[in-house]
Amino acid sequence: MGCQEPSSVPSADAGRCLDTAALNRLEQSFRDWVDGSLRQDVRLSRRRILIIFLLIRYAGAKLHEVLALDPFHDINCRRRTVRFSAGGQDTEGVSRKVQISDALAGEIRAALADPQFRGLIKNRFRVDPAFVRRKFYERAEACGFARHLGGPEMVRRARAVELMQGHLPLAAVQKMLGRSASHSAARLSFSADEIEQATRLFVEREASRNTSARNLFFGKITSLQRGDIQTLVTMTTMAGHSISTVITNDSLERLGLVTGQWIAAEVKAPWVFLHRGDEEPATSADNRFPGVIERIARGKVNTEFAVRTSDGTELCAVASTQSSRRLAVDIGDRVWAVFNAFAVVLHVDGQPYLPDRT
């Protein structure tokens, strides 16, 4: 089993590496392992391994990149960034800064403020890579996973798939991983500031998990059709998808929306409806995406569907289990995922704005 990093548009088959739920289980296994020792020196040593795991898990770093970090110089907890130096086959000789969440930055800050931990690591993590790999394999096996799926390289690859499934723009994923941008894959160009803004919004949303929205898109406003009371806002994602929403003219002016502006849009999974078949459905829904059912998670009350579009974008839809039985779809079936313009939540400068439903 293996998974491909997104040097271009990846296949992003989460079944070939750990998915988000499994990565979270692996992370908890590391945390339980740290807390499981009664000896202070052992806990400190294990805490160092935990932080190495977290930097690979959330920053998408290579093991040798993390081991080469000077935590007191390369990790800026106030700005929530980690700087990985140039060098190495996968970094292509380019230094990069990777955005991390406020929660992760706070955890690292607390560790570095501990005098005993500072004394342990000095100015480098200073761990034998083979030892780190053994500990990663042990934690994977403790979770019941195949040991190779918990290796540093596989955790990094799983992170790449996770980012792509979360709709982080390809340019942002490539920057995080330290890979060259694939110009042929991008439909719109993002500036460095827009890529950083998209990444910051993504990692904070991911860390807080305070929204039930599962579908996050990044793109630029391509059209503003202003009416007497409301304005139709159309954005085009980097994958080339067109997404529409409606806001009042007062909101348009308050937000200062203009054509060409970077923006993010969220759609809650329960607001995404599925129509079976190849033929485009006859529906008033403004936003329509053809795709294939990739995963189904059936519960007693609700059923969750993952729909993969032709360009690799994943859409999540949630329906009651009773209605999902009437839909009668299975993995591999072709469907249309649709949602109304009023189901779209806009994000400008990281702040969410709900469309007006007047």
> Do the beta carbons of residue 292 and residue 333 sit within 8 Å?
yes
Q: Which residue has the higher pLDDT, 260 or 87?
A: 260
pLDDT score for 189: 64
- From residue 295, alpha-carbon distances to 15, 25, 128, 307, 329 in Å are 9, 20, 39, 7, 11
Last residue of a domain, one of 185, 207, 229: 207
Which of 17-26, 58-67, 161-170, 325-334 comes out lowest in average pLDDT? 161-170
Residue 226, pLDDT > 90, answer yes
* Helix ranges restricted to H, the chain: 20-35, 40-59, 63-67, 71-74, 102-113, 115-121, 129-142, 152-165, 170-177, 192-208, 249-255, 321-327
Residue 3: inside a domain:
no
Which of 10-19, 157-166, 296-305 comes out lowest in average pLDDT? 10-19
Residue 110: inside a domain:
yes
Query: Does one domain contain both 50 and 194?
Result: yes
For tokens 């271009």, the residue is 8
Closest CA to 344 of 232, 254, 258: 232
Residue 60: inside a domain:
yes
Mean pLDDT of 88-105: 75
Mean pLDDT of 3-14: 43
Q: What is the pTM of this model?
A: 0.70
> Do the beta carbons of residue 142 and residue 78 sit within 8 Å?
no
Q: What distance in Å separates the CA atoms of residue 299 and residue 303, rounded to the nearest whole number?
A: 5
- What percentage of the chain carries pLDDT values higher than 90? 58
pLDDT score for 183: 46
> What letter would DSSP give residue 85?
P
Residue 212, pLDDT > 70, answer no
Q: Which residue has the higher pLDDT, 278 or 356?
A: 278
Residue 223: inside a domain:
yes
Query: Does one domain contain both 162 and 278?
Result: no
Query: Does one domain contain both 201 and 252?
Result: no
Residue 2: inside a domain:
no
Residue 46 belongs to domain with CATH number: 1.10.443.10
> What letter would DSSP give residue 12?
-
CA angle 4, 7, 9 (to 5 degrees): 80
pLDDT score for 196: 81
Residue 9: inside a domain:
no
- Distance separating the N- and C-terminal Cα atoms of the chain: 51
Query: Does one domain contain both 224 and 289?
Result: yes
Residue 47, pLDDT > 60, answer yes
Residue 9, pLDDT > 60, answer no
Q: What distance in Å separates the CA atoms of residue 122 and residue 73, rounded to the nearest whole number?
A: 12
Task: List, edge to edge, every strand of the sheet that includes 96-99.
Answer: 75-76, 81-84, 96-99
Residue 113: inside a domain:
yes
Q: What is the extent of the structural domain holding 228?
A: 213-353
pLDDT score for 188: 56
Radius of gyration of the chain (CA): 22
Mean pLDDT of 45-58: 97
Per-residue buried b or exposed e for 146-184, using 16+ beta carbons within 10 Å of the residue's own CB: eeebbbbbbbbbbbbbbbbbbbbbbbbbbbbbbbebeee
Which of 11-25, 40-54, 315-329 comes out lowest in average pLDDT? 11-25
pLDDT score for 307: 93
pLDDT score for 14: 43
| Tokens found for residue 315 | 């859409």
Q: Mean pLDDT across the chain, nearest whole number?
A: 85
Mean pLDDT of 315-327: 92
User: Which of the four pLDDT bands, split at 50, 70 and 90, describes residue 1?
Assistant: very low
Query: Does one domain contain both 106 and 184?
Result: yes
Q: What's the structural domain count of the chain?
A: 2
Residue 16, pLDDT > 90, answer no
Query: Does one domain contain both 124 and 238?
Result: no
| Tokens found for residue 188 | 């719109």
User: Which of the four pLDDT bands, split at 50, 70 and 90, describes residue 10?
Assistant: very low
